[in-house]
């Protein structure tokens, strides 16, 4: 995508964290903003902030796990501003602990947001963007799906989150191949950040009541949450830095967006194991936070 100046940016999870930082970057480039989020108060506050700063913005209360809600988001975007130029399928939640301890409700909630949310965005917005491309030779569009480095590596207590982000990477790669056949004017990219200082560690605050667990957190889940929060608090990049890096990558036509390249040796080690048909192994010495996680889990499982 040659330029991201002007146009329409749709951002799910846009009221806070990385989503809001992406919206700020888009606004700085003169883009109209459609912010989608499940938190009413945060969404209203974010829209007010952007309007107060002179941006053209609307907020749409959206549960991305609900296909009908995302369809409505696409319709609202078209009615307000015309076809989306950039779609950021960014909304996400997290969970941890030993994978066998995750409940059916855990799986339904996390996969619904992290995987169905991306799939719903792709299904609802891609036809709109392809139609715009057919009608205007100057139109350029890009769909950016937020995955994670957890979509490229596996490790202890990464469980559902890693499964969901692997799905987002695969979905994005398939979308890339499909779009390369359908149109040269609409592209896609997958964003794989490492630890970024956001509030995703408190994503359970937005968990639907019908998917809430009745039992207490297990020792492994408590240990994972504590270690993960420390890693987020000490993230190597801010959300603002990741957003700026992402826009530069979009403009350069980069598909795999890795704001932090430090974890890439871990990805390489994993791929080597796969190609050599070796058992899974994690190079803990390369990632102190994962070593801390392993040690905390080991201690918790013995207590």
Instruction: Take residue 166 and report the two structure tokens written for it.
Output: 């692997």
7: which DSSP letter?
S
Q: 161, 176, 256, 284: which one is catalytic? A: 161
Question: Are residues 194 and 262 in contact, defined by beta-carbon separation less than 8 angstroms?
Answer: yes
Place of tokens 């995955």: 147
Instruction: Give, in order, the Cα–Cα distances in Å from 77 to each of 66, 117, 124, 128, 189.
Output: 17, 17, 11, 10, 21
Catalytic (active site) residue 161? yes
203 DSSP 8-state letter: G
Secondary-structure percent of the chain, ordered helix, strand, coil, rounded to 5: 55, 10, 30
Q: Count the Cβ atoms, other than its own, within 10 Å of residue 136.
A: 11
- Secondary structure (H, E, C), 129-179: HHHHHHHCCCCCEEEEEECCHHHCCCCCCCHHHHHHHHHHHHHHHHHHHHH
The residues that are catalytic are: 161
């Amino acid at each position: 995508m040659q330029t991201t100046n002007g146009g329409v940016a749709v951002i799910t999870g846009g009221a806070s964290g990385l989503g809001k930082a992406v919206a700020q970057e888009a606004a700085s480039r003169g883009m109209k903003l459609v912010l989608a989020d499940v938190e009413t108060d945060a969404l209203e506050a974010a829209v007010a902030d952007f309007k107060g700063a002179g941006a053209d913005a609307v907020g749409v209360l959206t549960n991305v796990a609900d296909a009908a809600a995302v369809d409505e988001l696409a319709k609202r975007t078209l009615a307000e501003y015309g076809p989306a130029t950039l779609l950021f399928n960014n909304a996400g939640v997290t969970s941890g602990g030993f994978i066998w301890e995750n409940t059916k409700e855990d799986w339904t909630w996390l996969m619904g947001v992290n995987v169905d949310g991306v799939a719903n965005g792709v299904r609802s917005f891609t036809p709109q963007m392809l139609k715009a491309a057919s009608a205007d030779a100057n139109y350029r569009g890009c769909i950016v799906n937020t995955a994670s480095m957890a979509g490229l590596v596996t490790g202890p207590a990464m469980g559902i989150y890693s499964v969901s982000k692997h799905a987002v990477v695969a979905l994005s790669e398939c979308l890339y191949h499909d779009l390369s056949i359908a149109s040269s004017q609409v592209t896609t990219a997958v964003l794989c950040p490492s630890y970024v200082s956001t509030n995703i560690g408190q994503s359970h605050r937005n968990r639907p009541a019908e998917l809430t667990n009745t039992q207490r957190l297990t020792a492994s889940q408590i240990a994972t949450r504590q270690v993960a929060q420390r890693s987020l608090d000490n993230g190597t990049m801010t959300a603002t830095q990741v957003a700026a890096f992402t826009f530069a990558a979009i403009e350069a036509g980069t598909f795999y967006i890795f704001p932090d390249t430090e974890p890439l040796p871990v990805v390489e080690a994993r791929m080597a194991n796969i190609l050599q048909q070796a058992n899974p192994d994690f190079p803990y010495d390369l990632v102190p936070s994962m070593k801390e996680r392993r040690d905390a889990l080991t201690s918790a499982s013995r207590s």
